[in-house]
Structure 1
């Protein structure tokens, strides 16, 4: 049965002979959504979720407040007794005996059973998430409550559950009692065809076209995809075109839906001995390949897809790169580069090169250079001159980046920029390593001349901090001999800053070659005064302990 039918059933519930029904179906198929929509305009409804409920008596509590007293504020009756009595007196004037009952939550059952006798039209109690009930709750007690509610005047009960997910011990109870208590079970096997998408903040035209191709059954998955798109859209500038945002929405839906639903995952036959076929299936099952099945014909690059997937998985999104992707999108013309002819691609290449030369950030530079090399390689055109230009600009930009104090950029590989071309990847790796070498040479060169001042301390701290990094360790080892001189040790004119600077340098010297360092210290101490020797000994002891 499709979830659409739930609305038809509930619309006729006043005339149905059943006092308790169950809508059973897998999570996310739209059971609760359809029930809520069907009952939206009905004032005589009490909705209760078993998820998080600690005591079955709360069912009576909610029924009392939401139905009998038309009060949805919840809370213990004892705390708001006067409000309850005032509300009850409007329904039934014989409530003198209720004064004592309202002092305890235990008596909410009696209160509801008493007040329900005055109902003159159907009142509906919806018990949702039956399979999510607490371990402390006895399913037999719930069935007992449902049976008692059925006996109330003009009360009907709707239960919503995914019975496949009921715990095994409770499943035994369910099988034993459901036939006696639940008068009809409706099995929901298909998502509703007609959904008011606007209530879920999902663009109707988009999602309906999406679902024509990709058979998603779980409404919650679509809600998650929409929320992820709204998340990503926060990083978009206001001047980005609607067409770009539409493709961005499709990418977001593809990433979320396939990550959760695995619609295009194919089980591999373990008995299949065809190694080529098995390899093909394995590659086809990679998440990136499966996501690609949603994205045929888009103008946005695969780099953007990788970036959005990384943000979904790791929570990292580079705004500069997103802006670069948008510029690449604008320069791709009316249709995706993938579908262009040789001549059309050839006309795009000069634009990509120009954008690369004008790049204001690493993200833009890498994006346009990579795109140029990828498509020029497809056309089998020589791109060595552009690669040379890219290398020169990259070298300058990386050096400027680290000199501006943003050396953390060097710890990222080309993966940060989702490059596709092996040529640009290789150049980026080479220049990144050269910039690391340039950075260490800058630190060492400065410290070789002076260890006085805040700048010297900052450089020595970074040198020590980077020493244990796999990126910098070998580079520092190759340069560290330049710091074997007297000013690297706390002798002569020493203040607090210089003392800590010397500690950082000595730390690196010791961990580079302990024997050589200790021998040098003994040599230095021969020409020092007593206080200098003492300071050297103190620092050696501290460094060796660590």
Structure 2
């Protein structure tokens, strides 16, 4: 049954012989929405959510006050204080004895008498699975049974029984047959629900993608809609062009929400898509296990969106969108900068319909562009230019005339200007999955990333040196270097780092006299860095040499507090 049929079921319930019915369906399928549609503006229906309810008393009170609120204006003039006093006389019993709810029965009779009506009054109980653990399932079922024995009162229980756990689940199964006359199973959301939530424009873009996956949670669409509106409100509507399209933004927002909510940030489809190579799957998994955003984005692009985007360059915005949804943090300036580079990118006449002369001219133009870089151009833009040129060089069997080494030599300034030490080394790298369509471009991107890593590490060492000399002791830079030790394989980089440590006395400030917390944490982190280098680079006796250097300092013998601090440091 589809969720929208709930309204029909409840309308029929008015005159049916059933007195206690269950509407069962998984979370987010639309049960509450259509129950609310039925209940709205109807004086003969009360709706009670069991969410967080700890006892029957609070439920009884809510029913009582709802009946009063829905009664004709001025019909009940007793104060809430008096009504609450009456609740003290209410007693509840179940299994082997009965539940007495005289107040509700009297109130209902009084209402019918006043209105001259014998019509059915329906009480709907929602969110069974979200009740407080102190409230027993038997109490709820007993209340429903007791209420339904009152003349002209019927009860509806709304639940996602698949969410009941442990004793609650067992108890519900045991007593369901005695307590429920009829069960309606909601196994699909209404056909028009996604359109109603997202609007026709958004649904037309993501509809086919969504239909590829078997999920019933309408909240995924609701969260997608809200996220899209948030992103557009922050970034503005003027960002969209024929290069960075509104549709691509819709797709990236949906994929980010879907992956987070439906797949719990797990790459589940890698095990089901056997047509892709095992190596490709392994690359994606490894990227994610290493904390790589690129692996996740490649997965979202290839497996969720099925490579369906208007402009492949828009993938450069994808990790910003995904992280925005997951963490709630974003840099508007960074995102707008990437979008601006996409919108300003001028693809030289090198497409399928161009003449050979035009294509050759474009290739030469790209080469000249690389030779005359001024260091301010974005590395991703440079790679995009080269991607197009390399493609047509291969198609026409033309030599580009510049090796990867030549390209790397010319983009040194651009790489240097790209480095942001406030970000991790990984965040500074070019996303290899965005440039993997061509083998040659992939190789160049990897080489550029190697250059970025070396430059990042050199700038990181220089920053650590500055902190040491200026005595600012910003420990985060030391932590970053320590974390990188295990992934630094280039011998020249290792030599550079070791030489820097040697030339600056391990960057270790002597902890004598009055010091602060940052100072001491810096000392601890230097010791961790030295230990990591010895263990992971195989530098024999490096930690021992560091320790001997410190304890041979002249001031050690004269400063008992310093000696104690060093002893504490090496006993950690």
Whether these two folds match at TM > 0.5 is yes
Q: C-alpha offsets along residues 86-141 of structure 1, whole Å, 9 cap, x if unaligned?
A: x9983389999968515577699432221111233443321112233344333232
Distance 2:125 2:499 in 1: 71
Name the residue aligned to 1:528.
none
Distance 2:261 2:84 in 1: 53
Distance 1:507 1:213 in 2: 50
Name the residue aligned to 1:326.
339
Question: Residues 352 and 209 (structure 1 numbering): CA distance in 2 closer, same or farther, change over 3 Å?
Answer: farther
1:18 aligns with 2:21: no
1:389 aligns with 2:389: no
Contact 1:461 1:504 in 2 (8 A): no
Question: Residues 496 and 53 (structure 1 numbering): CA distance in 2 closer, same or farther, change over 3 Å?
Answer: closer
Distance 2:268 2:67 in 1: 47
Name the residue aligned to 2:269.
265
SS of the equivalent of 2:192 reads coil
Name the residue aligned to 2:239.
240
Name the residue aligned to 2:568.
545
Q: What 5-or-longer segments of structure 2 have no aligned partner?
A: 93-99, 286-298, 436-441, 486-492, 532-541
Name the residue aligned to 1:101.
86
- 1:326: how far off? 1.3
- 1:36: how far off? 1.4
Contact 1:25 1:161 in 2 (8 A): yes
Query: Of 186, 203, 206, which residue of structure 2 is paired with 1:207?
Result: 203
- 1:61: how far off? 1.3
* 1:69-468 matched pairs, under 5 angstroms: 69-70=69-70, 90-91=75-76, 100-102=85-87, 109-117=101-109, 118-119=111-112, 120=117, 121-167=119-165, 169-195=167-193, 200=197, 202-207=198-203, 210-212=206-208, 214-215=210-211, 216-233=215-232, 235-237=234-236, 239-241=238-240, 244-261=245-262, 265=269, 279=278, 287-288=299-300, 289-293=302-306, 295-298=308-311, 300-313=313-326, 317-331=330-344, 341=352, 343=354, 365-379=378-392, 380=394, 382=400, 384=403, 387-396=408-417, 398=419, 406=421, 408=423, 410=425, 412-414=427-429, 420=435, 421-437=442-458, 440=461, 456-458=470-472, 468=482
SS of the equivalent of 1:187 reads strand
Distance 1:460 1:141 in 2: 59
Normalising by the residue count of structure 1, what TM-score does the alignment of the two structures yield?
0.70
SS of the equivalent of 1:24 reads strand
- 1:442: how far off? 7.5
Question: Residues 279 and 519 (structure 1 numbering): CA distance in 2 closer, same or farther, change over 3 Å?
Answer: closer
Distance 2:315 2:433 in 1: 8
- 1:48: how far off? 2.0
Distance 2:477 2:284 in 1: 44
Name the residue aligned to 2:498.
477
Q: C-alpha offsets along residues 177-231 of structure 1, whole Å, 9 cap, x if unaligned?
A: 4344433222222210123855x4x223322553355325321221232233345
- 1:353: how far off? 9.3
SS of the equivalent of 2:224 reads helix
Name the residue aligned to 1:82.
none
Name the residue aligned to 1:76.
none
Q: C-alpha offsets along residues 135-159 of structure 1, whole Å, 9 cap, x if unaligned?
A: 4333232222112222334433222
Aligned residues: 492
Name the residue aligned to 1:84.
none
Distance 1:197 1:223 in 2: 11
- Mean Cα displacement is larger for which, 209-218 or 510-519? 510-519
